[in-house]
Structure 1
Amino acid sequence: MRISTIAASLIALTALPASAQAQDYRASGTEPFWNLSIGAKTMRFEAPGRPTVAVPTPRVIHGFAGEMWQTRRINVNTNHRPCTDGMSDRSYPDTVTVTVDGRNYQGCGGEPRAEAPTSVLGGNWRVEALNGRPVVRGTNPTVSFENGRVSGNGGCNRFSGTYAFARGRLTAGPLASTRMACLDRARGQQETAILGLLGERLTVSSNRQGKLVLTGPRGRTLILVRARP
């Protein structure tokens, strides 16, 4: 009787949707940027320039290569095949195809595999790229992490504040900055984007080149390289 009860419990567990067995599933892509979250109750797709699409989370379908979620407006097909986002060079466990209102989006899903330990985060860094593009020519934005304090230069102004880092997640702020006006529009936009992204809850990982990758909830990224002494 006990063996039968255990077997029945295992069958019941595997019949649950993936979102009920673990934390929310997330996927994202570039060109264009998009972000997908699948929770226990809601499946949500976001992309710049288009309205957010949110639908009730359907029951997951366990296919041969991965999981699928199918609704009238959003279809998600995951393939358990390693995937890199083409921008930060991080590795994800799944290759993901999302179809929203008939339009296909390609990207990666699951938690990044190369998580950066706390000891790797500390020190001085130079911002090499913002959202997959090199920083504005002639600028040298920097970020430093030390003893719970974050500081740096966004390209025009210095900033500082506190930060917390746990389980691969970085939360900084509130950040205070000087108020010097940027000389040109590109510098100003870059600084606003850097400070805005640092104010979000970020996933921290390192890529194969040893660079630090900070990723926001909507797929925006900062790529940092060690600053020379």
Structure 2
Amino acid sequence: MRTILFGLLLLTAACRRPSTRFASMLTPAPPPADYSQYLKSGDELVAFGNDPAWTLTVNPSKGTLRFKAPGKDSLEITAPERQNDSDGVLRYNIPVDAGHMNVLFRPDSCVDKKTGYRLDYRVEIDLRGKNYVGCGVSLRQLTTLQDIWVLTEFQGKPVSAGGPRNELPRLEISLTEGRVTGTTGCNQLSGEITADTHQILFGPLITTKMACMGTAGEFEKTFLNALATPLTYQIGQGKLMMLRSGTSIMAFKKVD
């Protein structure tokens, strides 16, 4: 009898123990990487790796390529003309003191082991015969995201102006400052923002306290709730779409 009871207790404990596979599915993705320091500097391409730790930045406005690594491999040089292959590969071939430097950005999903961030390129650097491997990203998309956007569609339906000012919700995004300002269509909003080439995260956000009557008040709550969790996004041709689980939540157009 004791053996039976002991077995039942083990079975109950096993049933209550969460599945390792299910638990891993619930692990949240890391928040967007913060590239504000690179945007402030005007860097367009950024790459980094580990073992050993290294970083590479290409800054078109300054015309520089900077590589930081342990020992004597660090250098800052004039960035040569970039070679763009038909398959999206970006290359730099650079003569350096006592050798040569080859830089290759290959389009491919690349997860940095240290941070868990997913980047858009696998990067290979050959410097004087020494190899460095890591992940990289182009920040051109983020510079496009830094603009003023007016809401045109929410949950698949067109949005009309409302609130006391009879205006559409608007977001003014500054990733260099990590700030967003705008309006819900009734109250003014402001707060923090981070974004990479996949995700965008707002908040915490604060708003003014003007009473929003009727549908304007109801929509404001729904709109702010939609901004309260990480969203993926797509941008192009003056349009910005924010999605959750592949479904469009809201669409914006760029202010001319």
Shorter-chain TM-score tier:
0.3 to 0.5
TM-score under structure 2 normalisation?
0.41
The TM-score, its normalising length taken from structure 1, stands at 0.46
